[in-house]
């Protein structure tokens, strides 16, 4: 899932300076699970901003609503009857959601409420780690399910480098060396021959931004129509 982190209250406060009516829009999918921008967190942010505003003697209204997802047009449509009444909208979705909301309501000021961190997994209660960097060319079949693109700071496809130090990384002694992990895993599953093969250079053109992808089925339908 996409992992996010709430922006400091001061930063949000500075963004909404001068606005009187503000709507906070939460996103009920990834960022709700990563405890950054779901219904609960929107409630906390709204309550905090309301209290801060009152304490500082500001006349402002902060309303809250959470939609199922902000990366689908259908769900953003539900906001149409409310958005017009506000001076600014704070979105606590990931960067993608904020942009899609800003695109749908293009005459509104849309502000981000969280910092989007990475695509990751929940290690335990309240702890997430990055596991994928969306490189568009998955190589986990050759590395025993451990991603050197994400976990190795040097993105090495043929590792480890000389900086591996007792299973730790030279860049950050706290972090595990991806290639030590891969070696141990391959040894465990009896596929060490894989690690001996030299990997050809990766096709980084697949990562060119901004990405766009059309599902094969929809491509077919379009092509058929054009004919």
Partner 1 sequence: MSEDAHQQFEPKVIAYCCTYCAYTAGDLAGSMRLEYASNVRVVKILCTGKIDTILLLRAFEEGADAVYVAGCALGDCHFLEGNLRAIQTVAHTKKLLAEIGLDPGRLEFFHIPASAGPLFAQRADEMTARARQLGPNPLRAKVGQPAGGKLARDPDGHLPLPEATHGRLIRQAERISAAASDSETGA
Q: Which residues bind partner 1 (CB under 8 A)?
A: 8-10, 22-23, 40, 43-44, 46-48, 50-56, 60-68, 74-75, 77-78, 82, 221-222, 224-225
To the nearest 10°, report the CA torsion of 163, 164, 169, 173: -90
**Shorter beta-carbon distance to partner 1: residue 187 or 222:** 222
Provide the minimum distance between the beta carbon of 44 and partner 1 in the complex, in angstroms, as a whole number.
Answer: 5
**Shorter beta-carbon distance to partner 1: residue 64 or 101:** 64
Provide the minimum distance between the beta carbon of 86 and partner 1 in the complex, in angstroms, as a whole number.
Answer: 10
Sign, Cα dihedral of 161, 163, 168, 170: negative
Provide the minimum distance between the beta carbon of 186 and partner 1 in the complex, in angstroms, as a whole number.
Answer: 37
**Shorter beta-carbon distance to partner 1: residue 66 or 164:** 66
Helix/strand/coil for 116: strand
**Shorter beta-carbon distance to partner 1: residue 63 or 170:** 63
In contact, 12 and 60? CB cutoff 8 Å: no
Residue 199 phi/psi, 5° resolution?
-85, 130
To the nearest 10°, report the CA torsion of 8, 9, 13, 15: 30
């Amino acid at each position: 899932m996409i992992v996010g982190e709430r922006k400091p209250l001061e930063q949000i406060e500075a963004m909404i300076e001068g606005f009187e009516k503000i709507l906070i829009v939460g996103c009920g999918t990834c960022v709700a699970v990563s405890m950054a921008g779901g219904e609960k967190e929107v409630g906390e942010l709204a309550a905090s901003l309301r209290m801060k505003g009152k304490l500082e003697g500001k006349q402002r209204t902060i309303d809250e609503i959470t939609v199922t997802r902000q990366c689908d047009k259908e769900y953003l449509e539900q906001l149409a009857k409310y958005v017009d009444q506000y001076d600014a909208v704070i979105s606590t979705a990931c960067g993608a959601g904020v942009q899609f909301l800003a695109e749908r309501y293009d005459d509104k000021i849309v502000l981000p409420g969280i910092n989007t961190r990475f695509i990751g997994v929940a290690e335990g209660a309240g702890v997430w780690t990055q596991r994928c960097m969306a490189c568009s060319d998955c190589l986990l079949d050759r590395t025993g399910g451990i991603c050197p693109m994400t976990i190795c700071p040097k993105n090495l496809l043929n590792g480890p480098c000389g900086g591996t130090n007792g299973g730790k990384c030279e860049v950050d002694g706290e972090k595990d060396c991806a290639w030590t992990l891969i070696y141990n895993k391959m040894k465990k599953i009896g596929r060490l021959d894989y690690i001996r093969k030299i990997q050809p250079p990766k096709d980084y053109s697949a990562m060119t931004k901004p990405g766009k992808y059309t599902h094969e089925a929809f491509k077919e339908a379009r092509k058929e129509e054009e004919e």
